[in-house]
Amino acid sequence: MITGKNYIGNRISAKGTITYKTFNPELHQENSTLFTEASSTEIEEAVNLASSAFKEYSKISGEKKAAFLNEIASQILLLDTLLIDTYCSETGLPEGRAIGERGRTVGQLKAFANLVKEGSWVEATIDTADSNRKPLPKPDLRKFNFPLGPVVVFGASNFPLAYSTAGGDTAAALAAGCPVIVKSHPMHAGTGELVASAIQKAAKIIGMPNGVFSNLNSKGIEVGQQLVTNPGVKAVGFTGSIKAGRALYNLAATREEPIPVFAEMGSINPVVLLPEALRKNAKSIANTYASSITLGTGQFCTNPGLILGVKSEGLQTFINSLSDDILKINPSVMLHPNIKEGYLKNKENVTSQKGVVVQADLTEVLKTNYAPQSVVSVKGVDFLKNTTLHLEVFGPFSMVVECETISELETIILQLEGQLTGTIIAADEELEQYFTIVNALQTRVGRIIFNGVPTGVEVCESMVHGGPYPASTDSRFTAVGIGSIKRWVRPFSFQDWPNSMLPKALQNNNPLGILRTINGKKTTDQIIS
Amino acid sequence: MITGKNYIGNRISAKGTITYKTFNPELHQENSTLFTEASSTEIEEAVNLASSAFKEYSKISGEKKAAFLNEIASQILLLDTLLIDTYCSETGLPEGRAIGERGRTVGQLKAFANLVKEGSWVEATIDTADSNRKPLPKPDLRKFNFPLGPVVVFGASNFPLAYSTAGGDTAAALAAGCPVIVKSHPMHAGTGELVASAIQKAAKIIGMPNGVFSNLNSKGIEVGQQLVTNPGVKAVGFTGSIKAGRALYNLAATREEPIPVFAEMGSINPVVLLPEALRKNAKSIANTYASSITLGTGQFCTNPGLILGVKSEGLQTFINSLSDDILKINPSVMLHPNIKEGYLKNKENVTSQKGVVVQADLTEVLKTNYAPQSVVSVKGVDFLKNTTLHLEVFGPFSMVVECETISELETIILQLEGQLTGTIIAADEELEQYFTIVNALQTRVGRIIFNGVPTGVEVCESMVHGGPYPASTDSRFTAVGIGSIKRWVRPFSFQDWPNSMLPKALQNNNPLGILRTINGKKTTDQIIS
């Protein structure tokens, strides 16, 4: 049952006055539930509950946190078709995608559960005392990762499960020991409420402190602003547009106590087509990219929006094939009329710029909210001069830049804004031949791909989903994979602390059996005192 | 020979028009060398050289970086008495301190050299491919730590060697693969230039790219501002006042591309005296703290400026003994007349507040620039109401807060600003008895000390020197110890990259022999492909 209300801790509440409904873009009609935006009082209450829950939750065992995360995963699966149907009705995305994303979400929760159950993630580091050291005795110092405090997570429009209510940020923050307050995304408030109910059930079953999780509805930007400026909030996770992400970053940076904002924002994910690869495989590369550009109606942050090559017969073949192939792909619906409108507007903005040539643009009459895919091209010199062409067009769109020379291509890469990914399509020997291109690309991205596509973000420890600004506001952390737990912790050190009063991770006899660094050596050994 | 000029990369340069001299506070007279502040052109040049050096320096081997860092250490030692004499003449600090701090600086450089020579610090993480996985093949992903780019380090007034030109931040950034531009502290510009010359010699001997290091003189704040806002600069390290640190943080946060600023700023390092400890040992605790408060004329960021206890006979004995003992300590000179002036002004500001009682204040006539040590006391209720009393008084000063109850004491801790350290002085059973106090303190500090003093920052891997704002602008990183290398790197991931073109740390046969995480398991094994 979807109530349209907020979860203030474990209590359902709807004291606010602003209401809204979600929208089914496939049927082009509103869904039935009326959602109530969280009021100022409710927001304040959620933060206070989280602060109070933090006292207990920051100290509970990894085992108990793992049980909580695993139980959330189970409760999400128990929502069954209600969740999948709600997801589809609020996004227009097909059932297969919903089920796949649910699998990813459940997988992420379990991966973090395993991480904290095992326990070595706290990076316990111990330097033992030496009372005989001259000129001064050496103290005993023991360091581990300690959670930051209550975390606010903003739901993302394009991943109602994997990057929203119980998505990567929430799973990582809960694993770290931080209570979470979710600012639900208005486009999938029903999906969000269902997942929130699963989290609340899990919290009750495992016996978590009230306030470990809250879910706040919001129609506009005010709920988010109030959360980010609340002194009780200690960090923020966000996935969305540069404009919104930067606004939150600015808000957080101007607080009396600034806090970290991890905003994963725009990216056009440059793809470099090297000459020999183009000469050999222009058509098959084009075919692969037609699919990548249109995957999920182009609504992925790793969508390849920029393709760079040097003028040649191969590049011309690539452009022609890409244009042909992309028009053969069945168009699909976007998440929301607003997103479709944004797509058309941004595309129009780019295609109206000097030198931009439309190579392919689906002109057939489409169902409402369906997106016409497009490919445009532009000369390197025009792209260099005009940063409007660097803007992300969120949707099934890509721009091919025809460079005069390889050095012009390198200049373009060096002047690009930060990106989540960069891709090199090359014949074997070309990586070595064009190493300055590769090096240039490495300074602009978080992940570099060889002969593949940027779409498809593997959830694993070696993934980096992040990159130099504006791909993210903090390139030192990934948004995907168990490494993202580091966003929500700080190192904390005990000096000369009595052994029995230390957290288990730092006690002499290593009761958790974790891997620790003792006097510079990695070991699971006990310390014989 | 001290020239008074800047190092723009390896070139000595003095194109600016603003000049200044350093000051000998012991003799109360200017030193002879005339220093020239870096001009805008020189600053721009230094950043451009650093950006260009980064291309090569970000990729050189750990072995070569280690050789560079070790050579810097050797060259600093070769400066011998010239360095020690210059240090003393620019700070008033005794020779023993100069030699000790030089030892620490050299030790830090060598510790980072060992770290990067061994190589596992890059946290190589590999998930191998699985082409048979369903529904989609699993790609090969390999992640490691990659340097951020050119780093600006601000010299600190109170540590001319260990936190300045070749101090912790510089050593960590160079170890990470980042070129460094030092904004030299005007109070010890000569010491700075000498150390810079040692770095340049080392760079030449080991064959480092020009621009890997620059040293810029500055009299005012403009050089620092210009550096922090230069788009070529990718991160900033700073140690100093809250006002200056926050200003730099704000500048960096409002850049088009915001960059991390690691500012280690003010701290009053609360010390909690628990009742039983006071009952048993008030006099000896007081004696220990009289020394800690006056150590280095109180010019340490870990100086214990706030002592909290519950009203009792024990606390009264402590206050009386501390007052007696501190007056017996020989006064000493401060770093600069401006620092002495600031000390007197800040002390006056605090002692003039409502409820503050001066318990001890050295009144004898002192040599110029010597600091009169002081102890004041105030009631908990007054401290709670007045945040002026929370401000750091940089110098040999401490404030004892007499709380009515233990719960008032806990309230004070919970309302304290973030701190570098917190100390608990307790009888054995009291840690358990007063666990809410300990937990409260843990949320406010980066390091917690049992029955010791906060002064004395052990340089080791388990040290955390940092803490919640305003102790630092980013509590997720330490300023001291080899862990500080993480300030200057970001994770970077290669997808399906050809083995021979990967960095050595990520190649199948593990040519560096480092500890890596392969498919979730820590190992030094090779990958059999």
Burial class (CB in 10 A: 0-12, 13-18, 19+), B115: buried
What three-state secondary structure class fits B12? strand
Note whether B235 and B329 are same-domain residues: no
Does pLDDT of B135 surpass 90?
no
Query: How far is it, in rounded angstroms, from Cα B377 to Cα B355?
Result: 8
A171 and A312 assigned to the same domain? no
Q: What is the pLDDT of residues B475-514, one digit of tens each?
A: 999 999 999 999 999 999 999 999 999 999 999 999 999 9
Closest CB to A136: pick one of B456, B464, B475. B456
CB contact under 8 A, B148 and A498: no
Burial environment of residue B472 by CB neighbours within 10 A (0 to 12, 13 to 18, 19 or more): buried
Task: For residue A227, give its domain range.
Answer: 6-119+147-265+479-486
Which of A37, A301, A403, A408 is the catalytic position? A301
Determine the residue of chain A that is closest to B137 in CA distance.
A458
Q: What is the reported pLDDT for B364?
A: 87
Percentage of chain B beyond pLDDT 90 is 98
Quote the CA–CA distance of A412 and A433 in Å, as a whole number. Answer: 18
Which residues of B are marked as active site?
Answer: 264, 301
Residue A273 bridge partners (DSSP): A309, A425
Whether residue A241 lies inside any domain: the answer is: yes
- Cβ A447–B494 below 8 Å, yes or no? yes
CA distance B315 to chain A (A): 23
Whether the pLDDT of residue A428 is over 90: the answer is no
Q: Which residues of B touch A260 (CB under 8 A)?
A: 474, 476
ipTM of the complex: 0.96
Which CATH number do you get for residue B249? Answer: 3.40.605.10
- Domain-embedded: residue A514: no
Chain A closest CA to B39's CA: distance in Å? Answer: 26
A437 and A386, same structural domain?
A: yes
Query: CB–CB of A154/A188 below 8 Å?
Result: no
DSSP-based three-state secondary structure for B79:
coil
In a domain, B382, yes or no: yes
Using one digit for the tens of pLDDT, what is the confidence trace for B155-197? Answer: 999 999 999 999 999 999 999 999 999 999 999 999 999 999 9
Q: Encoding tokens for residue A373?
A: 């895919």
Nearest residue to A142 (alpha-carbon basis) of B200, B78, B159, B481: B481
CA pair distance B347, B332, nearest whole angstrom: 17
Same domain, A16 and A151: yes
Q: From the candidates A262, A462, A489, A501, which should be mutated to test the interface with B, based on the most B CB atoms within 10 A?
A: A462
Task: Based on the fold, state whether residues A250 and A277 are members of the same structural domain.
Answer: no
Contact B495 A446 (CB under 8 A): no
pLDDT over 80 at A529, yes or no: no
Q: Which residue has the tokens 């609360």?
A: B270
Q: B87 and B226 in one domain?
A: yes
Indicate if B131 and B116 belong to the same structural domain: yes
Tell how strand A306-310 and strand A397-403 pair up.
parallel
**Chain-chain contact of B143 with A431 (C-beta, under 8 angstroms):** no
- Over range B227-238, report the average pLDDT: 98
Residue in B418, B451, B470 nearest the CB of A496:
B451
Mean pLDDT, residues A476-505: 96
Q: What's at B148, amino acid-wise?
A: L
Q: Residue B524: inside a domain, yes or no?
A: no
- Measure the CA–CA gap between A108 and A169, rounded to whole angstroms: 10
Total number of domains constituting chain B: 2
Contacts of A491 in chain B (CB under 8 A): 446, 464, 466, 476-478, 483
- Bridge partners (DSSP) of residue A264 are A239, A472
Do B492 and A446 form a contact (C-beta atoms < 8 A)? yes
Q: Is A498 within a domain?
A: no
Q: Which residues of A are less than 8 Å from B469 in CB distance?
A: 257-258
DSSP conformation class of A39: P
Q: Are residues B230 and B309 in the same domain?
A: no
Which residue has tokens 């190649």?
A: B507
pLDDT at A266: 82
CATH number at residue B437: 3.40.309.10
Say yes or no: A205 and A277 in one domain.
Answer: no
Contacts of B133 in chain A (CB under 8 A): none
Res. B529: pLDDT tops 80: no
Q: Which of A16, A114, A26, A118 is nearest to A73 (CA)?
A: A114
Residue whose entry in the numeric block shows the structure tokens 């010359």: B197
Nearest to B483 among A478, A489, A491 (CB): A491
Q: What is the pLDDT of residues B4-35, one digit of tens each?
A: 999 999 999 999 999 999 999 999 999 999 99
Tell me how far apart the alpha carbons of residues A183 and A164 are, in angstroms, rounded to a whole number: 9
Decide if B316 is inside a domain. Answer: yes
Q: Which of A278, A268, A352, A362 is nearest to A319 (CA)?
A: A278
Residue type present at position A364: E
Give me the phi and psi of A196, to 5 degrees please.
-60, -40
| Local structure of residue B381 (DSSP, 8 states) | H
Rounded to the nearest integer, the mean pLDDT of chain A is 97
- Distance from the Cα of A141 to chain B's closest Cα (Å) equals 6
- Measured CA to CA, the distance from residue A39 to residue B87 in angstroms comes to 60
CA distance B470 to B120: 32
The single residue of A26, A71, A264, A402 carrying the catalytic annotation is A264
Q: Tell me, what's the pLDDT at B428?
A: 85
Q: Is A264 a catalytic residue?
A: yes
Q: How far is it, in rounded angstroms, from Cα B158 to Cα B336?
A: 10
Same domain, yes or no: A327 and A363: yes
Q: Does A356 lie in the same domain as A210?
A: no
A13-26 pLDDT, tens digit per residue, is 999 999 999 999 99
Q: Does residue B381 register a pLDDT over 90?
A: yes
Could you tell me if A377 and A335 lie in one domain? yes
Nearest to A462 among B55, B125, B450 (CB): B125
**Residue A460, domain member (yes or no):** no
pTM of the predicted model as reported, rounded to 2 decimal places: 0.96
- Residue A125 maps to a domain: no
